[in-house]
């Protein structure tokens, strides 16, 4: 219980002010399309130069936590995920906002983020030594299977068409391979100068989610718009709390999946929300309601992406291995203060390490409070007329994509992907599987290549990729996920056929 001795450090005036500032700033930055948690933390690093190490880390930790949760605001209200971690949130969150439950969606999103986040940080506090050993057990073959498991989710993420879901995922995987190959340095699929640096995930996210929304608003034409794109009415926090508790299964799945995914170095928190969303849908009694405004989808996604924050720091603080891109930036923040993370971090710098971790715990609570306050003001966004909303989202998308690498090439890519996605959506393709493919592509490829190299030096790929308890467990999960996707699609088709038969019979009678 050493961490309890360092709680006082969090409430020192400067520390608490930074925690507060980091949380509020993080929520705003997270809600801004194009500003990912990684970028927000990177932007804040120069501000920590002049601060003592503990305070600097408190600021970075608060920003990390709040930006992950803040991304839900734009995901729910504008259907533009603030970060890849919020993709799954936008699926049901925006549908809830479109049907007058915007405040409720924001409430449950922040409450679920808070629960997931607290559990994640508690895991960080109590299980760091055990979890760090477990995290080390993941080699290239396991990470490859993890990525493939993520790919299998693709098919079931698109509830409308299994084929088009998988095809969207393949398009995403192909997009992730554009640019220079990391190992050989060979040019791949560079059909235009703008593609030289590859397709940046943030740029792609903005294009794929924001531009189709804008075009959809434009498609309504120049007419009197009585109904805004989303409607956010005042809703009781108590009702939202009851809703959260009623969806305990989604909350548990989200928190569990997020904690496990966060712990695995390299997989990244981006897929935690999507995996939790998919698992919640598979275990739900009403899977068809997902994507149409089921709060369980928001709860699972948001609890997962905040639950991964704490565990993603376990390999960083104990083994110097960043669990996510943001953790890698945090590692930079530690190093500039002369702190080298490792197994002796808690012996050499107990005040820095424990105060930082404690601040993340308090930060989760502050994030929930300020998030709910944001939700109460979100109604203003809902009252913006569609022409202004369309123009504002366009400009935000342009600036957001440009600011990622300060390149016009990214703006071209964003616009091309956006228009292409709009056309594909019109014929039944979905954005979520495409983005998941884009995220998982580099992880799957890097570990496949690394695994193949190791396998060649050993007894061949079959033994390397298909032996060992963890490999077999992941393989079984992959097969089960594919089987379930086929089975659930088959069930949905049968249900639909029965419904249409019943309708025909009743019409004839």
Partner 1 sequence: MNPDTAESMPLSRVQHLVPAAAVLALALIVAWVSFTREPSEAFLFPRMIASVMLLLALWNFIRASLGLARVGDGLTRKGVGAITPGLCVIVLLVYVAARYLGFYSASWLAFLSIYSLYDPASHTLFAVWVKRVLITTAFLSVIYALFSLLLQVQTPRGLFI
Q: Which of residues 449-478 bind partner 1 (CB under 8 A)?
A: 449, 452
User: Using CB under 8 A, which residues numbered 185 to 224 contact partner 1?
Assistant: 186, 188-189, 214-215, 217-224
The phi and psi torsions of 232 (rounded to 5 degrees) equal -120, 110
Helix/strand/coil for 187: strand
Q: Which stretch binds partner 1 (CB under 8 A): 184-192, 200-208, 368-376, 470-478?
A: 184-192
Q: By CB under 8 A, tell whether 410 contacts partner 1.
A: no
The phi and psi torsions of 231 (rounded to 5 degrees) equal -125, 125
Question: To which residue do tokens 């014929």 refer?
Answer: 427
Residue of 3, 354, 370, 448 interacting with partner 1 (CB under 8 A):
448
Residue of 428, 458, 467, 480 interacting with partner 1 (CB under 8 A):
428
First to last CA, the chain: 73
Q: By CB under 8 A, tell whether 256 contacts partner 1.
A: no
Contacts of 313 (CB under 8 A, 6+ apart): 124, 323, 327, 330, 357
C-beta of 298: minimal distance to partner 1 in Å? 21
Would strands 179-180 and 187-188 be described as parallel, antiparallel, or unpaired? antiparallel
User: Using CB under 8 A, which residues numbered 19 to 48 contact partner 1?
Assistant: 32, 43
Residue of 373, 483, 490, 502 interacting with partner 1 (CB under 8 A):
490
C-beta of 468: minimal distance to partner 1 in Å? 22
| Under 8 Å between Cβ of 448 and 179 | no
Burial string for 425-461 (b: 16+ CB within 10 Å, else e) reads: beeebbbbbbbbbbbbbbbbbbbbbbbbeebeeeeee
The phi and psi torsions of 222 (rounded to 5 degrees) equal -95, 85
CA distances from 489 to 137, 152, 276, 433, 486 (A): 35, 14, 19, 16, 5
Q: By CB under 8 A, tell whether 396 contacts partner 1.
A: yes
User: Using CB under 8 A, which residues numbered 41 to 100 contact partner 1?
Assistant: 43
Residue of 277, 349, 402, 465 interacting with partner 1 (CB under 8 A):
402
Q: Which stretch binds partner 1 (CB under 8 A): 69-77, 297-305, 362-370, 427-435?
A: 427-435
| Pairwise CA distance, residues 14 & 46, whole Å | 17
Q: Specify the residue, 149 or 362, whose C-beta has the smaller distance to partner 1.
A: 149
Q: Which stretch binds partner 1 (CB under 8 A): 2-10, 270-278, 360-368, 408-416?
A: 408-416
C-beta of 462: minimal distance to partner 1 in Å? 16
Structure tokens at 472: 């077999």
C-beta of 102: minimal distance to partner 1 in Å? 21
Q: Which stretch binds partner 1 (CB under 8 A): 4-12, 294-302, 309-317, 402-410?
A: 402-410
Q: Specify the residue, 219 or 238, whose C-beta has the smaller distance to partner 1.
A: 219
Q: Specify the residue, 356 or 448, whose C-beta has the smaller distance to partner 1.
A: 448
Q: Specify the residue, 459 or 500, whose C-beta has the smaller distance to partner 1.
A: 500
CA distances from 299 to 114, 115, 200, 357 (A): 11, 10, 28, 24
C-beta of 91: minimal distance to partner 1 in Å? 15
Beta partners for residue 222, in sequence order: none
User: Using CB under 8 A, which residues numbered 299 to 328 contact partner 1?
Assistant: none
| Pairwise CA distance, residues 371 & 236, whole Å | 15
Count of positions on this chain that bind partner 1 (CB under 8 A): 75
């Amino acid at each position: 219980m050493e961490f309890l001795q360092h709680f006082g450090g969090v409430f020192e005036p400067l520390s608490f002010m930074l925690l507060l500032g980091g949380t509020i700033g993080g929520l705003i930055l997270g809600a801004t399309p194009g500003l990912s948690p990684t970028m927000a933390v990177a932007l804040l690093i120069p501000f920590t130069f002049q601060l003592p190490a503990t305070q600097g880390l408190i600021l970075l930790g608060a920003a990390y936590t709040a930006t992950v949760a803040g991304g839900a605001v734009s995901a729910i209200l504008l259907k533009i995920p603030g970060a890849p971690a919020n993709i799954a949130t936008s699926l049901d969150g925006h549908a809830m906002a479109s049907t007058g439950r915007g405040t409720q969606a924001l409430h449950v999103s922040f409450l679920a983020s808070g629960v997931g986040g607290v559990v994640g940080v508690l895991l960080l506090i109590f299980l760091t030594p055990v979890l760090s050993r477990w995290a080390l057990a993941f080699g290239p073959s396991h990470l490859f299977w993890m990525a493939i498991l993520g790919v299998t989710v693709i098919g079931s993420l698109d509830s409308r068409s299994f084929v088009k879901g998988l095809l969207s995922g393949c398009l995403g995987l192909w997009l992730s391979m554009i640019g220079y190959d990391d190992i050989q340095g060979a040019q791949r699929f560079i059909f235009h100068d703008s593609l030289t640096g590859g397709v940046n995930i943030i740029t792609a996210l903005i294009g794929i989610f924001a531009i189709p929304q804008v075009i959809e608003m434009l498609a309504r034409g120049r007419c009197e718009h009585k109904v805004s794109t989303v409607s956010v009415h005042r809703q009781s926090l108590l009702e939202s709390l009851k809703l959260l508790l009623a969806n305990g299964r989604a909350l548990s799945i989200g928190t569990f999946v997020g904690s496990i995914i966060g712990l695995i170095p390299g997989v990244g928190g981006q897929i935690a929300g999507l995996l939790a969303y998919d698992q919640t849908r598979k275990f739900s009694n009403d899977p068809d309601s997902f994507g149409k405004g089921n709060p369980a989808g928001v709860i699972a996604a948001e609890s997962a992406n905040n639950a991964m924050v704490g565990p993603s720091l376990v390999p960083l603080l104990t083994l110097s291995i960043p669990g996510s891109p943001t953790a890698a930036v945090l590692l930079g923040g530690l190093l500039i203060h002369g702190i080298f993370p490792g197994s002796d971090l808690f012996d050499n710098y107990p005040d820095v390490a424990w105060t930082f971790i404690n601040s993340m715990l308090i930060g989760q609570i502050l994030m929930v409070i300020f998030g709910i306050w944001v939700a109460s003001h979100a109604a203003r966004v809902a009252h913006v007329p569609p022409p202004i909303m369309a123009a504002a989202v366009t400009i935000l998308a342009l600036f957001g994509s440009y600011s990622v690498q300060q390149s016009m090439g990214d703006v071209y890519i964003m616009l091309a992907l956006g228009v292409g996605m709009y056309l594909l959506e019109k014929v039944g393709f979905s954005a979520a599987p495409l983005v998941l493919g884009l995220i998982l592509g580099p992880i799957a490829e890097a570990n496949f290549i690394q695994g193949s190299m190791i396998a060649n030096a050993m007894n061949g790929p079959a033994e390397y990729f298909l032996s060992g308890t963890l490999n077999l467990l992941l393989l079984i999960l992959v097969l089960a996920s594919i089987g379930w996707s086929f089975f659930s699609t088959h069930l949905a088709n049968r249900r639909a056929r029965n419904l249409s038969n019943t309708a025909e019979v009743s019409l004839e009678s």
